[in-house]
């Protein structure tokens, strides 16, 4: 069974929210890529449109949007996702994950691009009250 930890950021209010996605909703996310737009129903936000902005696998290797496929690759990086250099001109070999979501991904990052009828805060508060 596939399970993702999803971090949803809302640029409207500058806050982020975390939720777990499992079951058939998680299975329907497999095969999607970074920068794809998905319906909010996959993460219990009906009426919302979300954009996948990145993620990481179980070992902490980040997804890089310009590496095709779901597997890990060693790249010669000079900055950006997965590598932060301290001075100019430094390049280093780093391991990153491709841009396609697979069952090995543990965390996904998403951004709200279209808001629904209810606010995200209200939807998450209803969910927390239902669990108690």
Coil, helix or strand for 124? helix
Give per-residue pLDDT as tens, 2-46.
899 999 999 988 999 999 999 999 999 999 999 999 999 988 899
Cα atoms in the 13 Å half-sphere on the side-chain side of 31: 3
In this predicted model, what pLDDT tens digit does every residue of 36-88 receive, in sequence order? 999 999 888 999 999 999 999 999 999 999 999 999 999 988 877 777 777 88
pTM (predicted TM-score): 0.87
Could you tell me which residue, 74 or 124, shows the higher pLDDT?
74
Tell which residue, 47, 30, 22, 36, has the closest CA to residue 120.
47
């Amino acid at each position: 069974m596939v399970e993702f930890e999803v971090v949803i950021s809302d640029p409207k209010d500058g806050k982020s929210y975390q939720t777990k996605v499992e079951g058939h909703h998680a299975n329907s996310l497999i095969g999607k890529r970074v920068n794809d737009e998905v319906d909010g129903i996959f993460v219990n936000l009906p009426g919302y449109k979300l954009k996948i902005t990145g993620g990481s696998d179980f070992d902490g290797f980040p997804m890089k949007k310009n590496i095709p496929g779901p597997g890990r690759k060693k790249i010669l990086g000079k900055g950006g996702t997965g590598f932060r250099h301290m001075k100019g001109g430094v390049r280093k070999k780093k391991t990153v994950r491709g841009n396609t979501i697979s069952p090995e991904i543990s965390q996904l990052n998403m951004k709200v691009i279209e808001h629904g009828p209810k606010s995200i805060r209200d939807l998450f508060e209803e969910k927390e009250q239902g669990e108690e």
